Structure 1
């Protein structure tokens, strides 16, 4: 799929991908993967509308149905939309307000941290990358649940050495290594929002 606009949304089966242009020397995009959730089925609403039970699951799955000339839409029998899940991924960029907006309230924000050393600030600007501290500031402003730093400079042998300073800006930041995984759960389906390996 070719991206041609600064912001594009791609709807897939059950989720959407929001692509947004970032600030690098060549065209690059960040991505938010979003799973929206509909509200819970409200039996009382269905009964008050006189809907037979056999139609309930179709409405719950998002179908619009017509019965005896009457149109019934899911919103008529569903409660308020529930919080879904959101993961935002962003590398090869300088910090921008657009990244903050797209990462807002992400359950997981995966962001580049090319340089951990504070004295690499100028190099980050020249190469259009971010330092750990700039990335952590985006995580803080976007109020993300948790954040993983990735895409380190090859010269950065021990990224964890710079983590404490980044955590002073945003405490829920971690360094990410190849193979790191996480299980994200909907809020009402688990006592914890994430289990990590």
Structure 2
């Protein structure tokens, strides 16, 4: 199971009714934070998510509404007693921006690793999660993210017994990619595992125009968190000029990418009530919801839904 907390759904500037862009992923007790706008710490405190277990911080782009909450958060994590390394991933320019922000928090008790504009997917958490990136279309270098949570094959007791695998090796073979030699016989994990199982794909796209070239990257997402800066279809000119999307455009993108569910976020300050425009999205892609600060999701692997 993957737990997600949508910490902030606003764009541009924080308001009394919406914090800025931030999303927290919790998988097997470890956490990944995507973007860290002003107010992220407050929203985390309100949601009771904790700070110490954040291992990765992913930044979509270096506009202030996505990154200005980071120095304070890093200091709070340090004050929580964390000593393990934190990895920050971001687009071109993230290293220079972090050098500037770190002037305000020089004395952290843990190491910070920076990965700038990765060109290959990154496997983390014992290879159970693959993070992929692609270049988005915004007014600054910007990355879209995809998270693929792998699901290991199920243990097959009949297969293990028919292959004569000693019971003492069953658990070890399940958890290890390496073969095991025992009493002159080599045993491999495929001797105890059944068919492979489908994983879970969660994706995020903000801020960006909806380009056709991005569709394959987001294809078949179980859930897509996508910007919907403008709810009104009449704001299309603003969306094009500022490199954002309308609700209808985000919905069309999700539909074309065969996503299972769409959650809209990153709402303009001028849009007081995004739900007033929900039909502009659902008329295009029915399975669309409006994101709200501290909205929580628990996504199950396909087999867990059976």
- Distance in 1 between residues matched to 2:121 and 2:256, nearest whole Å: 23
Asked if the contact 2:230–2:271 (Cα under 8 Å) also holds between the matched residues in 1, the reply is yes
Matching of residue 53 in structure 1 with residue 167 in structure 2:
yes
Provide the TM-score with structure 2 as the length reference: 0.58
The alignment partner of 1:181 has SS state of strand
Q: Deviations over 1:48-97 (max 9, x none)?
A: 22110111111111332223454433233322211222211110111123
Q: Distance in 2 between matches of 1:162 and 1:139?
A: 17
C-alpha root-mean-square deviation of aligned residues, in Å? 1.7
1:183 aligns with 2:298: yes
Q: Which residue of 2 aligns with 1:81?
A: 196
The SS at the match of 1:33 is strand
Q: How far has the Cα of 1:102 moved from its partner?
A: 2.2
Contact map agreement 1:8 1:20 (CA 8 A) in 2: no
Q: Is the 2:159–2:194 contact (alpha carbons within 8 Å) kept by the matching residues of 1?
A: no
1:24 aligned onto 2:152: no
Unpaired segments ≥5 residues, structure 1? 192-197
**Are the equivalent residues in 2 in contact too, given 1:32–1:89 (CA < 8 A)?**
yes
Q: Equivalent residue for 1:9?
A: 121
Deviation, 1:4, is: 2.9
Q: CA deviation at 1:8?
A: 3.0
Question: If the length of structure 1 is used for normalisation, what is the TM-score?
Answer: 0.88
The gaps in structure 2 that reach 5 residues or longer are 1-113
Runs of 4+ in 1 over 6 A off after TM superposition: none
**Is the 8 Å Cα contact of residues 233 and 280 (structure 2) preserved in structure 1?**
no
List per-residue Cα deviations over 1:4-47 (Å, max 9, x = no partner): 34x43111012121111111111111111111112111222222
Q: Please name the residue that 1:161 is paired with.
A: 276
- Where in structure 2 are the equivalents of 1:104-143 lying within 5 Å? 104-143=219-258
Query: Deviations 1:142-179 (Å, cap 9, x if unpaired)?
Result: 22221110001111112111111211110010111111
**Partner of residue 194, structure 1:** none
